[in-house]
Structure 1
Amino acid sequence: MSAQETVALVLAQAPGPPQDPGGQGEDFGKSSPLGLVLLIVFGIAVVFLIRSMTKHLKKLPVVFDEEKANAAAPARVKRAEAEQAERAEAAEEAENSEDGGSAKPPPAKAE
C-alpha cells in the first residue's frame, strides 16, 4: 500500500464511541411526572387566558364611531378638552396681539 492509500483508509474509518457521551446517559430524553403536571398547569392557564381575552374582545364595538365615543366620554374628559381649546384660543390671541392686534386676557377658569 502506498502512503496515499493508507491516509485515505485512516480518514475513511468511523470514529469510535466517545468516552463522555455529553450528558446523554441512560435517562436522556425521559421526562418525569413533574413535567406532565407542569404541562397540564400551563395548558389550563392558557385556556383561562383565552377565555378572558375573548370576553374583553366581545366588549369592543365592531366600528369605532367618533360621535358615540364623544357622547359616552365622561364629563371630566370633556372639560379637559374644553380647557385645551381655550388655551389654544388664548395662544392664538397672544400671537395676534404680537402682530399688532388688540390683546385680550385669557378667560378665567371656573372651578
Structure 2
Amino acid sequence: MLTAAQVLAENNFGDTRTGGLAGPMGLFLILLLATATVLLIRNMNSRLRRLPDRFPVQGRPTGPDRADLAATDPTDGTTAQESPTNAPNGHQQGRNG
C-alpha cells in the first residue's frame, strides 16, 4: 500500500503519454485562428475600398420634385394655436388629492 509521502514523492512530470496531442493540436488551432483572422482582415479591407470617398448629405431634397410642396403650414406663420379639446395643458394640471 502506498503512503501519502510516496505518492507525493513520485516524479510524474512529463513521464506520461496522456497529453501527447496537446502540442500539435494547439499549433493547429493557432494556425487556424491566424488564417481566419488574415482572411477576415482582407475581406474587410476590400469592402472598405469599395466605399465612396464621401457620402451625399442626408438632408431635405432641394429639387422641384419635392412631395411636400402641396403641404401648407397649419399655423400660417402665426403663434401657437389653441387645442380644440377641453383637456388641461401643463399649467392647468394639478395633483389629485
Q: TM-score, normalised by structure 2?
A: 0.40
Structure with greater helix share of residues: 1
Greater relative contact order (Cα 8 A, min sep 6): structure 1 or 2?
Answer: 1
Q: TM-score, normalised by structure 1?
A: 0.36
